[in-house]
Amino acid sequence: MMYKSKRTIVSIAVAAALFIGYVIYAFSGSSPAGDDLKGWALLILKFIAVSIAAQIVAQIVIHVALAASVAAKEDRGDEGTIERIIAAETAEDEMDTRIMLRSSHVGYGIVGVGFVLTLIAAAFFSVSAAFALNMLLGVFLFSSLADSSVGIYLYEKGENGWAPGRDCT
């Protein structure tokens, strides 16, 4: 499995764990009242801040793990070789750009549809503003998970059926 796929899987796991934590907190007795839009907005902003910090820590940990695994494989201790291997693993090329574009199209499509569905729910089914806000948060999470999942699929399958490490003949 490629480093970029592992990095994305860790990102998905952190996002899913944080969302589960948010849902548990949102349905607990200490969550804001159903019509308290300011309370819900502040709660979501706090979870966004925690999510950003957790993603940064997770990416640092996965990068340190990559460096440690490369150093363990390269017993010679040649620092230049280790740095070149890490740079090759983390470098982005045209395939990475195309994969990011394809996966982001999926994510943006989901956000667009989810936003319209949230507006429809608010306009025709009279859902509360707090519920619509939580709906949008769920749409953004689902969009991010779909975007990342498509990226992993394309990295592992290979863009246009070819993946690094596969014989092209």
* Residue 166 maps to a domain: no
The answer to whether 127 and 120 have CB atoms below 8 angstroms apart is no
* Residue 140 maps to a domain: yes
Q: What is the full per-residue pLDDT of the chain (169 aa) written as tens digits?
A: 778 888 899 999 999 999 999 889 888 877 787 778 888 889 889 999 999 999 999 999 998 888 888 877 776 667 777 788 878 777 788 888 898 999 999 999 999 999 999 999 999 998 888 888 889 999 999 999 999 999 999 988 876 655 555 544 4
Domain residues for the domain of 94 are 3-157
Alpha-carbon span 106 to 153, nearest angstrom:
13
Instruction: Report pTM.
Output: 0.79
Into how many domains does the chain fold?
A: 1
